[in-house]
């Protein structure tokens, strides 16, 4: 999904399940911290609470707004 579509569907602060390394690793539950942006080669990335680097939106699963987020 490109950054424009991601941002249209999910606002900053959306609860998400992220896979920081690969989908085989345990996920983390957090919130988006920034809008998604397009970077090299059309890759869309978004920053989330608790992780320094931007994450590929393919490894970010949006959750319902009332989903309990880890501290």
* Whole-number pLDDT of residue 71: 57
| Confidence at residue 9, expressed as pLDDT on a 0 to 100 scale | 97
Task: Give the model confidence (pLDDT) of 11-42 as tens digits.
Answer: 999 999 998 777 788 899 999 999 999 998 88
Please state the domain extents for the chain.
3-62
pTM over 0.85: yes
pLDDT tens, position by position, 37-57: 999 888 999 999 999 999 999
Tokens describing residue 38: 């397009």
Considering only residues 7 and 58, tell me which one the structure prediction assigns the higher pLDDT.
Answer: 7
pLDDT attached to residue 20 = 78
Nearest-10 Cα torsion for 64, 65, 70, 71: 180
CB-based contact 17:28 (threshold 8 Å) = yes
């Amino acid at each position: 999904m490109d950054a424009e579509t991601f941002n249209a569907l999910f606002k900053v602060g959306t609860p998400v399940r992220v896979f920081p390394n690969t989908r085989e690793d345990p996920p983390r539950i957090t919130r988006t911290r920034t809008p998604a942006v397009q970077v090299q080669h059309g890759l869309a990335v978004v920053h989330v609470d608790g992780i320094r680097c931007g994450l590929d939106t393919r490894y970010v699963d949006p959750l319902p707004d009332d989903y309990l987020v880890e501290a």
